[in-house]
Amino acid sequence: MSTYTLKSVAQRGSMLGAVLAVVVATIFPAASAFADSLNPLTERSLMLSSSAPGFANTDGSGNSVDAPNAVGENYAPAGSGPNGRRTGETFSFKVSSDNSLTGRAIKAFTLQYCTEAAGLCQGPGDNTGDARVATANRETNATAHPLGRSDLDVVGSWTEGSGAGQFQVLVDGSPVSGWAMTSVNAEDDAHSGNLTGKKNLIQLTATGAGAVPAIGHPVVLKFNPSESTFITNPGIGSFFVKINTYDTATNAQLIPTVPAATNAHLMDGGVTVANVMTDSIHITTKVLETMAFSVGTRNPDTQNVSSHGSCDAIEKINSNRLNLGNTDAENSLETTRAYDTNSYWRLSSNSSGGATVYYSGNTLQNTVGDFIAPIGADPGNTIPNDGAMDYSHPGTEQFGLALVSPVETLGTGTFPSNHLALSISPLNIVGNYSHGDLTSISNTADITQNARFAFQKSSLTTPVPIAQETSTVISCATSKVRYVANIAADTPAGVYTTKINYLAAPQY
């Protein structure tokens, strides 16, 4: 019985195995030269980034990085659960030899992938053909993947590190640097099955001092894939990985070049971890598009009511009619004083691409065609700067608007636990309409403290954006709109009105 067989028996942990190991060690005392090699690695595990077979690399919608219409879109990236074609792996185990006492450092690890846990090794996979045949008729993975078949393979040039396409050796959770990785085919020609010819053996060899873990301390071998450096899973079915540690970094001294029975450099090992390829569970459902947009003249959250919702609609009061001017003089404008008024809008949408809010309307105008110039226009109403931002200047014809991110006192009553503070977030106010928060609307010596406004008369036929977010859903964005109006001494008399309409356009 070979030393490797002894290790295979020892790792099974049964009472019978323990007795056999003692008997054989008694009959063959010469094997004591390789006593450490009888120590199995304990608490072994192999975690795959994906248990999908190697021919699978798509998400639930059938999209993958290889899809012809998926340029720039990686729906199932390397190392993700759906991608069995480009996987990463993490081996974890504890050593049985007390290397910290003996000073005998681990200088190499080997990981050999086989279809059985012991004996002759055949690389796992279900591609057709046999690599031993003179015509080399074994399918490549590139040919087999579209047909639903795959062989295990180690692809690309792996380097040491924690990034994509790199591997790491960790002892007690801390990286131990100074390792090189090679991958080769290590199948046994004597095996009766079809050999894959693919790389099924990983060798990590020390370029420095190696690793010296104490007995029972954890070692982790981690392989992080990239789109060009990865491990391809075999097809449907199980496989085993034989793990061994050595006190030499010389590849010629490692299994399978030097068998376990005669390998004086073998330390712990001769044991395996197992894994099984499984197909994914596909789950499909729908989230329908939703949107709530309300415009009005009163914020319900500021009212004293018994109960409030998390995002109640803005309330429509008096048919959304606003009066702008001196309330003691039938809401009329004056040349010596500016007047303002407010309305609100509130938006919710589950569009992942955000949404844009626009306004559309005319400036204040009477029934015979006289109008108050939009703010930013020159006194002759030629409107050379349609939409220009400006301060309020009493005595000059002006009509404009700006947005306010409301900071208002909430009404009394019961609010839901998920109620958010009033905010226009995550929407961002478009530049010329973002200065409505400043308090003063009258021309003063220090006009930099005044609010500023803008208005585009052309918005009547071409809506103008005033708030926008392009990359996330909108939960409950609330804005207060502030309107200002001024007149000059020669502004024609009459009743001036306008209707401003607000539009919301989500981007799905």
pLDDT tens for 148-161 read: 999 999 999 999 99
The predicted structure's pLDDT at residue 439: 65
Between 391 and 126, the more confident residue is 126
**Which tens digit of pLDDT belongs to each residue from 255-306?**
899 988 888 899 988 788 988 888 878 777 888 888 999 999 998 888 888 8
Q: Structure pTM?
A: 0.65
Output phi, psi for 264, to 5 deg: -75, -10
The predicted structure's pLDDT at residue 449: 60
Closest CA to 482 of 453, 447, 448: 453
Asked if pLDDT for residue 325 goes beyond 50, the answer is yes
Asked if pLDDT for residue 174 goes beyond 90, the answer is yes
Distance of CA 66 to the CA centre of its chain: 19
Between 229 and 387, the more confident residue is 229
Burial class (CB in 10 A: 0-12, 13-18, 19+), 288: exposed
Closest CA to 399 of 415, 414, 417, 386: 386
User: Among all chains, which residue has been given the structure tokens 């400043």?
Assistant: 438
Asked if pLDDT for residue 15 goes beyond 60, the answer is no
The predicted structure's pLDDT at residue 71: 46
User: Among all chains, which residue has been given the structure tokens 């009329």?
Assistant: 332
Cα distance between residue 41 and residue 268, in whole Å: 6
Cα distance between residue 153 and residue 89, in whole Å: 13
How many CB atoms lie under 10 A from the CB of residue 467?
25
Q: Are 231 and 152 in contact (CB under 8 A)?
A: yes
The predicted structure's pLDDT at residue 288: 87
Q: Which of 10-19, 141-150, 400-409 has the lowest mean pLDDT?
A: 10-19
The predicted structure's pLDDT at residue 50: 92
The predicted structure's pLDDT at residue 270: 78
The predicted structure's pLDDT at residue 60: 75
**Which tens digit of pLDDT belongs to each residue from 391-437?**
888 899 999 999 987 777 788 888 777 676 678 899 999 989 998 88
Q: What is the dihedral of CA 230, 233, 238, 239, to 10 degrees?
A: -40
Span 92-110, mean pLDDT? 85
Closest CA to 174 of 208, 207, 220: 220
Cα distance between residue 307 and residue 266, in whole Å: 74
Which band of pLDDT confidence, cut at 50, 70 and 90, is reported for residue 6?
very low
Peptide bond into 426 cis (omega under 30): yes
Span 117-121, mean pLDDT? 92
Q: How far is CA 61 from CA 57, 75, 285, in A?
A: 11, 9, 11
**Which tens digit of pLDDT belongs to each residue from 53-68?**
999 988 777 777 654 4
Asked if pLDDT for residue 26 goes beyond 50, the answer is no
Q: Are 495 and 371 in contact (CB under 8 A)?
A: no
Helix ranges restricted to H, 3-81: 3-12, 15-27
Q: Indicate the domain borders of the chain.
A: 3-277, 291-506
Strands 230-232, 428-429: pairing is: unpaired
Asked if pLDDT for residue 213 goes beyond 60, the answer is yes
